[in-house]
Structure 1
């Protein structure tokens, strides 16, 4: 039976480590073998530190996929949708490999990350390292819980994992990654009621506003409905906040059985409706990076390591 990577539908954790690499040589067979070994590392750390609930995702960049696995292409594989409108941007950044590590212990994330980096070091440059953390009761740094509408239970698999319609890639997932920076100073100047209007939910109890009460420019409306409001956008979101005392932000990671939901979400947020109602949260958050990846099944990664 085809097995999706555990990290795709795993429950949220307290800590995360996001690693993005560029491959700098043409040793594709070595990379294929080492990606399979990273799966073993995930399993080892999960068993050794079972209380930490370790999980991980290995995903290959849309541009690099053809080099790593020539001749075997997921049906809907596509580059990151580069979108710009006025001062709202979704820039594309380089990245051949994306690895997400999550656990309830920061030291375990760090130790696993060190082993992975050491393993891949001869073949890659580390482009980006971001450490995510659970903030208060699962809120973003805006003060709001944004994962309330995330799918639950088996619905996660239906939304996030490729089914038998693409038999060679059953169990895989289309992964999109963006690092957002938040202008906390400007955001905190807003009255709480204005923040709630922009987010589309109550700040204190996390209750979403009724659909008819949502402003067209609210984040809840523009990130969950298409630009014409006719289609609900369904993604499994893995986002977590990151930052220090100088820079704060959110690492957005989504998984889906197709790249289309993410593309529709981004278009709805950036371009908005025909009346120009874009996602007003983008007045306070700016995307710094963007990458499209595919996370193949455990079976695929292990089989290709032997070929």
Structure 2
């Protein structure tokens, strides 16, 4: 029986994580590399997602998978930095994650080349570096499963999931200089107790992304984590869905493409990357790559 990669919904948010992004270098070497990947990625501590270019390189197609769109609004740019393969490693020891990522890089060569690595970590109990709790409106239990995973009778696709990833860079100094009430109105919640603010402006992030306010409703499961590199820091936004439509609807509204109102989040943060990936299901505790003819 097929099942989803359990690391997608694993709780709590991991202490440490690494996001690895690979470019396709050799189509001829790709089948052997994917077989190696099934031996190293368990779907638990290593979650795997494929970009559209890799799926096409295998002569296959996954319905609903597409390239991340470069969306621009007034003062807003959401870049597309699509890659062929994404691996999300999580654990508790940064050294162990380093060695695991090195093993993956070696096993996937020469078919795939590591082109970006972003380390992430848990802040407090799952907060953004601004101090606000992240993922408050996440669906839970059966609702989370329904939101995150494909439910059909197609072998190799049932239990799969679509991931949307953006690395956001925050202006933490600029945000810290704002009065507390202004910060709360950007987020649409009070930092002190995480309560949603009815009086927040329409540009508040919570109001821009209220999942039940879309038609159809746009529920996703968010597994975002902070990142930092020297003086730069922000959030690796990560959302899983049974399709990419819900995330894309939220991003369009955030960018002001629906009604001209831009999400206030862009006042102090901007996305540096953007990618869409298909996360295959598991079969007999291994990645089920039958949709890729592996």
1:279 to 244, 263, 273: 263
Contact 1:74 1:166 in 2 (8 A): no
Map Cα deviations across residues 37-83 of structure 1 (whole Å, 9 max, x no partner): 122xx37xxxxxxxxxx622110012321113x23x22212221220
> What are the residue-to-residue correspondences of 1:1-307 with 2, within 5 Å?
1-11=1-11, 12-26=13-27, 27-39=29-41, 42=42, 55-68=45-58, 70-71=59-60, 73-164=61-152, 166-209=154-197, 212-225=198-211, 232-271=217-256, 273-274=258-259, 276-299=260-283, 301=288, 303=290, 307=294
Task: Give the Cα separation in 2 of the matches to 1:294 and 1:97.
Answer: 9
Map Cα deviations across residues 216-258 of structure 1 (whole Å, 9 max, x no partner): 10111112348x8555421111110000441011111111001
Instruction: Single out whichever of 286-295 and 162-171 deviates more from structure 2.
Output: 162-171
- 1:49 aligns with none
Task: Give the Cα separation in 2 of the matches to 1:302 and 1:146.
Answer: 32
Task: Give the Cα separation in 2 of the matches to 1:287 and 1:88.
Answer: 9
| CA distance 1:28–1:304, change in 2 (3 Å) | farther
Task: Give the Cα separation in 1 of the matches to 2:216 and 2:201.
Answer: 17
Task: Give the Cα separation in 2 of the matches to 1:273 and 1:304.
Answer: 35
Task: Give the Cα separation in 1 of the matches to 2:292 and 2:72.
Answer: 39
| CA distance 1:219–1:165, change in 2 (3 Å) | farther
Instruction: Single out whichever of 216-225 and 282-291 deviates more from structure 2.
Output: 216-225
Contact 1:224 1:232 in 2 (8 A): no
Q: Tell me by how many angstroms 1:168 deviates.
A: 4.2
Contact 1:32 1:305 in 2 (8 A): no
| CA distance 1:165–1:224, change in 2 (3 Å) | farther
TM-score normalized with structure 2 length? 0.91
User: What stretches of structure 1 of length at least 5 have no aligned partner?
Assistant: 44-53
Q: Secondary structure at the match of 2:278?
A: strand
| CA distance 1:253–1:302, change in 2 (3 Å) | same
Contact 1:162 1:172 in 2 (8 A): yes
Q: Secondary structure at the match of 1:63?
A: helix
Q: Tell me by how many angstroms 1:269 deviates.
A: 0.4
Q: Tell me by how many angstroms 1:99 deviates.
A: 0.2
| CA distance 1:302–1:266, change in 2 (3 Å) | closer
Contact 2:156 2:288 in 1 (8 A): no
Q: Tell me by how many angstroms 1:158 deviates.
A: 0.8
Task: Give the Cα separation in 2 of the matches to 1:305 and 1:232.
Answer: 30
Contact 1:219 1:280 in 2 (8 A): yes
User: What stretches of structure 2 of length at least 5 have no aligned partner?
Assistant: none
| CA distance 1:207–1:30, change in 2 (3 Å) | same
Q: Tell me by how many angstroms 1:147 deviates.
A: 1.1
Map Cα deviations across residues 93-144 of structure 1 (whole Å, 9 max, x no partner): 1310000011133233222222212212322221111110111232111111
Q: Tell me by how many angstroms 1:165 deviates.
A: 5.8
| CA distance 1:20–1:152, change in 2 (3 Å) | same
Contact 2:34 2:108 in 1 (8 A): no
Q: Tell me by how many angstroms 1:283 deviates.
A: 1.5
Q: Tell me by how many angstroms 1:264 deviates.
A: 0.1
